[in-house]
Each structure stands twice: as C-alpha cells, then as structure tokens.
Structure 1
Amino acid sequence: MAAKRILMLVGDYVEDYEVMVPFQMLLMVGHDVTAVCPGKKPGETVATAIHDFEGEQTYSEKRGHNFRLNGSFDLVDPASFDALVIPGGRAPEYLRLTPRVLEIVRHFADAKKPIAAVCHGAQLLTAAGVVKGKKISAYPACAAEVTLAGGEYIAASGTFDNAVVDGNFVTAPAWPAHPAWIKSLLDVLGTKIEL
C-alpha cells in the first residue's frame, strides 16, 4: 500500500474526538496527515471542544485539549494531496468564511479526490457548493444546509454510528460513527489492512 497524503482542515473548537481520532488512526495505518488552520503556523495549536450526548435536546459542549498543527495553511497546495478530511465541531462554522478554505474544498471535489467530513464538517461542503446531487450525512442540525445546497441528507442512525459513501464523499453524523466512517475512508483510499 502506498501512503497517501491527506490534508485535514481544522480550527479552534474543532470537535476533540473528530480531530484527534482520525488524525492518529490515519497516521497509524501509514498515511501522511497534514493538519492546518487559517492564520496559524506549524507547532501552534487549536482549542478543541468535547461534544457529548447526555440526554438534552442537543449535544453539550466542554473545553477539550489543544491539538497541535503540523502544517502551514498559507503553503497548502491542494494538488499535492490525495484526500481531504474535515472534522466537525464549531470550527467549520467560521472556517467557511475564509474563501481559500472553500477553494481548497472545491479542488478536492472537482478532482474527485476523497473527501471525508463528519458532523458539522458538512458546513464546509455546503458553503463550497459541492454537494448537489450527493448523499451526505451530517449532524442533524446541518440537514437543512445539505438540502438547501442540493444534497440528499442521510439521517443518523439511532446510535449515530452510520457512514455514507457517495463516490468520493465519505460522510458521517458524529464521532460515534468513527469505526464506519474511517473504515469507509480507508476503503475509498484503497488502504488494505491485513489481519
């Protein structure tokens, strides 16, 4: 298996599990993952948020960890990457206000390179205008955005552990879907794990 170069777009208050787990798992299987944030340099950190489902009508939010960036957003050449990963949390809400972020997302969509988005990560896909005609899963609060952007929203299972693959798009509703979401991304990447 040839290692793939994977770009991860993150920002302050990215969801803790949705950035840490995929970053570490993709490294574990041998891929090269570069995590970047507009306005920050390699070695700097973004604050994470922990979202949990504790019985209220929506998720709760607590301060998480500091996630260390290992790449420079200003130097990103999307053509040099094989795939894009977009974690959720609150970061996508403001990252979509950066035109260069949307240009990067469009590059991966236009080139039909794998794009994996989880939870609120779909906000970058809808803002970039790349979901028309695609089946997209996301946190339920993003359903209207997916539909208004021309995508077909696929609801979360009762346990939020489902992933959806539509061509080069791999999406999931929240971090409980990590096993299905990351496995689906590895399948789309052509990554084989021998047991």
Structure 2
Amino acid sequence: MWPALKTLAALAISLPLWGIPSTASVEPGTTPAGTERSDLDTLLRPSGGPWRIDQRGTALRPADLRDRVAVVAFVASDCSIVCVTRLLDLDRVAGALPEPVRDRAVFLAVSLDDATGGAAKLRAFAEGTVGAGSRLRFLAGDAAWTAAIAAMLRYPAASLPEPPPQVMLFDRRGGIAMTYGGDPLDRPRLAGDIALLDTFAQGLDSGPARDPHAL
C-alpha cells in the first residue's frame, strides 16, 4: 500500500468519526435510527436543518458535495491574521490543483460569527480576503448553528469568535479522512492528500478507482 494511503487509512480506522490532533476535539453526534448521514453532512447540518447560503447568496446543495473531496476550515469576519493567512493558503491550494482534481474538490469556510452583521459582512470579508472569484465558499448560520458546531468540535465558547484552527479533509463519500492542525498550513501535503483521496471513488472504505501515480 502506498505510504500516504497507509496514513489516511489508519487514521480513518482508528478514529471512527473525527480525527482532530489540535486544540479542539470533536464530540460525535447521534444519528436517528434508520438514517445514514455522512460526517460532512453532520458537521454542516448538526440538527439536520437547512443548507446554508454562501457569500454569493447561493445555497449549498447536496449535489455540490456529492462525489467530491471536501476541505473545511473555520473563519470569522474579524478573525486574526493567522486565520486570514490560513484562508489565503487554502485559496492557493484550491486554485493550483490539476484541473480534473479541481473539479471534484470543494472548499468550505465555515463562519462561527453567529451571522453578526449578516450576509453583507461575510461577503465583504470573503471578497476582501480571497477575492470575488475565489473557489472558497463561505457559509454562516444563526446562533444555534454556530453553537452546535462549536459543541461538536468541543471548542470553548470563550475562544469565539476566533475560529478553531484545524482544517478538515473529507473523502468523496463525506467521511472524515484527515485533520490538519497548526500553522502555517502545509499546502503541498494538503494538495497531495486531496489528489490521493480523489482516487477513492467510494471513499476510504474501498480501494482507489485509478492509479494515484497517474495524477
């Protein structure tokens, strides 16, 4: 097995739902009997509520995430320079991926601002940080949504609005595959992990659909 693949597979097996080697950990949520939700869906819709609107006023839809590798980071419109730098690094990774992989990757910046200042404030922050043409989609919700995500991450409320520092990577079936903690973000490693996960059409539960060395 390819060394990087061993790392991802071992992480997915040893951490059943989330792997957070950083200052925040995660409290797995409960899933109603007979309902199967992915890790990514559980994170983005903790109570199974509505899909959120991004900075451009477009709702995130299940189809936007289906069969895609997803990268999730956390932001706030008045977050520190470290947080801003992290976003810039993600934007660079998103723009530099090879075209076939780029089309199957989605980058989400989840705001834990409690929607303070509304969509206009989030859009101004997003466009002022990474530009209007960025591939990053910034999502925000109400106070209950923010509280649910913070609780799931077991992130101290006293630390808000400064967001959790980790970047989370999900496979094409919405399963948690990797979490990156610490700054600066290792862009080459993240880009390589995205390309590797893209070869797993059925997520980490199945083998790669194509030779990763061909990417």
Q: Which structure is higher in helix share?
A: 2
Q: TM-score, normalised by structure 2?
A: 0.27
Q: TM-score, normalised by structure 1?
A: 0.29
Tell me which of the two structures has the higher relative contact order, counting C-alpha pairs closer than 8 angstroms and 6 or more residues apart.
2
